Amino acid sequence: MPNVPSVSNDDLAFNDDAVSIGDSVSIGDSASIDPAGPADPAESAAHSLDAERLEIQTGAMHVAATFEPPMLAIDGDIDASVLPALVGTLAKVAHHGRGDVRVDLGRLRRVDLGGLRALVASASNLNRDGRRLVLHAVAPWLLGLLIVAGWDDAPGLRVVVGPVPPG
């Protein structure tokens, strides 16, 4: 079994005072990102949120998310500079959506170990509720990284090489 630190969803969630479901919010881009990462992802990312869709642009990553069905499409790079925004978005979608959370990685260019760890920790959190994090369009290089790290069969994680099914 993989050794993945347990993180509570409360630790991962956005500050609800900054962004709440049902609001239309636009927060301007920040020109620089603190290397330690902001306390609130809203400080470093451009967000657009409505009752059905959430979009985040931060650093070299763009995330488009929906709550029903709970799904994220990630475009770009996942590294330490975008982790607060990614983890917060995953937590928000998991909290407000029902069922498994799907993540389309078809446009993912690069991910570091911290990014993989965040995905696996999110899967572990979902697993406690009988749900899964389903990674779709997983590239061969990414599957190889998951296997080498021993996280390809982590609790709550399902890896699918093919694209997200329609509907």
- pTM for this prediction: 0.71
Q: Is 100 helix (H, G, I), strand (E, B) or coil?
A: coil
Class of domain 21-159: alpha beta
CA distance 65 to 96: 11
pLDDT by residue (tens digit) across 127-155? Answer: 999 999 999 999 999 999 999 999 999 99
Q: What is the dihedral of CA 123, 126, 127, 132, to 10 degrees?
A: -70
What pLDDT shows up at residue 53? 86
What CA–CA distance (Å, rounded) separates 113 from 117?
6
Per residue in 91-132, pLDDT tens? 999 999 999 999 999 999 999 999 999 999 999 999 999 999
Q: Please give the helix or strand (H or E) that residue 109 lies within, else none.
A: strand 101-111
